[in-house]
Amino acid sequence: MPTDSEKLETIGAATPENSASLNPLAADPELLSDFILESREHLTSIELQLLTLDQEPANAEAIHAIFRGFHTIKGMAGFLDQDAVRDVAHEVETILDLARNGQLTITSTVIDRILESKDYLTRCMGELETSLQTGTPVSPAANAALLDAIRSLSAPGGSGEKASALPAAPVTPERASPAALPVETVSAPIEPVVLATQGLAELAREVAQVPAEAPSELSGTPESVDGPKAGAARTTGARSIKVDTTKLDYLVDMVGEMVIAQSLVRHDPDLAIGVKPRLGRNLSQLARITDEVQRTAMSMRMIPVGQLFQKTSRLVRDLSRKAAKQVDLELFGEDTELDRNIVEDLADPLMHMVRNSVDHGIETPEERTRNGKPATARVTLKAGHQAGQIVIQVSDDGRGLNQAKILRKAIEKGLISADAQLSETEIFNLIFHPGFSTADQITDVSGRGVGMDVVRKSVQKLRGRIDVTSRPGEGTTFLLKLPLTLAIIDGLVVGVGGQRYIVPIFAVREMLKPPEDSISTLQGRQEMAMVRGSLLPLVRLHQRFGVKPRFENPWDSLLIVSESGGRHFCLMVDELIGKQEVVIKSLGETMANIAGVAGGAILGDGRVGLILDLEGLFGASNSE
């Protein structure tokens, strides 16, 4: 009796008798969406395993893992009549089958072709996703050139090296997969199979099971699909489910509303008159449960930052080969978890920094040898927790930033005056200006300043900051300090007149009540405050929002020393009310573009407080 895998591969062949009946089912949007999602997961895993194989060509586990990924994609693509995807996956699967049976040696050319196949399939998934969104049925076009390149790897004289001296692993009929059987056996016509519509997804999942001859991921040893290990694998897989991100975001929003409601009850004036002991205990218990539910809901949005780090492995490999450099990528803290939205928005900035490090920061092997360095350079990505924030470090051991060159370029562009006296930090921050580059030769990726303005804007959008340190001849380090999540913020609640504002605590350096003689006016208009020997601009918050303050004189008020774009300034407020963790609420499209306002929050007493955007606040103050 044919197995489910054989049924699916035969269905995927789409004989004239059954193609007409299968096409409507293959266009099922939900099934196609699941196929795209699962295929992207497999393709991501395939790329990581290929990069491992690039370092260890004899790594059998990596070969098996890559084979399983392409095998699953091929089966699902055939089931959904995606012939172009199926054909490429099938040809790559054939090459991998030769490799895992010891008949083909993995070379860099083989890895390049498989990476090209992975990139092609990724583009196909993008086309299919666009087709789903537009409602226009589209099938990816076949890539004959890629198919020929893959087939040539196993041909005599091809770039894949035959390993004829190694005996092929015997394959018994009971343990053979469709890919290991002759084509005639796989594509032989069978009796028409009648399937219920609701059973399609189940059949697809059965085909996605690990091939019988592949080693068990749990034990590392071959195991029959009907054995106890396979049952354990299925049980383990059932512990996780896929949830639409929209539902997850809605859940987090509702938990935020619950936290606000609990806070309102806790601070209700009627309860302040006199709370009975039992009611007080119940309220404390409610607060603990609410806090735990909030933490759990937020953790559901968290994903390991390693997913982001691994994407740079391919970039480093391709760029180093293109630039004829030897670069090793070191990853640390890959298990550190970060909000899913932050990980997605951080992808581009991280790519910019790694690209600039490899292309411009790292020297050629000859230059490194002349300078007494190892020929192979090192790029390091590290993530960890520090003071309630996530800190991501991007560093290299290249030539470092040239301060004199940066200053010369900045003067040429008119960013600073020729007699300006800047600190080391201020000099390094010049590279974040749009279009700033110290590269002598412009290439498609060269210049440590190219794209760095995008990096800073993206990091600031995520309510984070970026610091730069560098030593000539030793390398450069970027430190990205980011909040754990975008949904909750730790802030200082301050009062100005009768209004309440939340100042993000990550941007606060210190608070002080200044003496009268520390306040001065520069050129008759810009107020300045002397703080620890430095003159800092003073921004009156009540002027920004048209609020009548309690105090007009800065020395009667409270100054909050804040940071914006590498520059420090003082924010003048009436009083500090306290520190509070608040749930960020959007103010809607009507108030989306107010300079200096990042959102709103409902405070414990039920009042609405505006969350300040210090970058926009300081920028608006300077533009006046």
Long-range contacts of 332-335 (CB under 8 A, 24+ apart): 332/380, 332/381, 332/382, 332/383, 332/384, 333/305, 333/382, 333/383, 333/384, 334/304, 334/305, 334/306, 334/309, 334/310, 334/383, 335/304, 335/306
Cα angle, residue 457 at apex, residues 451 and 458 outer, rounded to 5°: 90
What is the predicted pLDDT for the residue at 414? 81
Phi, psi angle pair for 14, to nearest 5°: 55, 70
Is 521 in the same domain as 565?
yes
- Tell me the pairing of strands 475-483 and 389-396: antiparallel
Is 519 in the same domain as 571?
yes
CATH of the domain at 577: 2.40.50.180
Is 316 in the same domain as 293?
no
Residue 223 falls inside a structural domain = no
Is 502 in the same domain as 588?
yes
The per-residue DSSP string of 165-211 comes to TSPPPP--GGG--GGGS-HHHHH---------GGGHHHHHHHHTSPP
> What is the Cα–Cα distance from 258 to 286, expressed in whole angstroms?
11
Q: Pick from 255, 271, 301: which residue ends a domain?
A: 301
What is the predicted pLDDT for the residue at 387? 62
Is 89 in the same domain as 65?
yes
> What is the Cα–Cα distance from 112 to 103, expressed in whole angstroms?
19
What is the predicted pLDDT for the residue at 68? 86
Is 85 in the same domain as 147?
yes
The count of structural domains within the chain is 4
Residue 225 falls inside a structural domain = no
What is the predicted pLDDT for the residue at 440? 58
Is 477 in the same domain as 506?
no
pLDDT in tens, 463-480: 788 888 888 888 999 988
Is 467 in the same domain as 403?
yes
Q: What is the DSSP letter of 142?
A: P
What is the predicted pLDDT for the residue at 382? 92
> What is the Cα–Cα distance from 136 to 489, expressed in whole angstroms?
42
Residue 228 falls inside a structural domain = no
Is 30 in the same domain as 147?
yes
Q: Pick from 483, 508, 536: which residue ends a domain?
A: 483
Residue 47 falls inside a structural domain = yes
pLDDT mean values, one per 10 residues, the chain (624 residues): 43 41 52 83 86 83 87 84 87 87 85 88 87 78 84 70 42 36 35 37 44 36 37 46 81 84 79 76 88 85 83 83 87 87 85 85 89 90 80 90 86 82 82 71 50 80 84 89 78 89 86 88 79 87 88 89 78 88 76 77 81 77 57
Residue 130 falls inside a structural domain = yes
What is the predicted pLDDT for the residue at 160? 57
Is 479 in the same domain as 493?
no
Closest CA to 379 of 357, 350, 405: 357
Is 570 in the same domain as 500?
yes
**Beta-ladder partners of 337:** 304
Phi, psi angle pair for 524, to nearest 5°: 75, 5
Residue 238 falls inside a structural domain = no
pTM, rounded to two decimals: 0.61
CATH of the domain at 284: 1.10.287
Give the structural domain span for 504.
Answer: 488-623
Residue 174 falls inside a structural domain = yes
> What is the Cα–Cα distance from 312 to 332, expressed in whole angstroms?
13
Q: Pick from 188, 211, 234: which residue ends a domain?
A: 211
Residue 446 falls inside a structural domain = yes
Is 345 in the same domain as 425?
yes
The per-residue DSSP string of 317-381 comes to HHHHHHTT--EEEEEE-TT-EEEHHHHHHHHHHHHHHHHHIIIIISPPHHHHHHTT--SSEEEEE
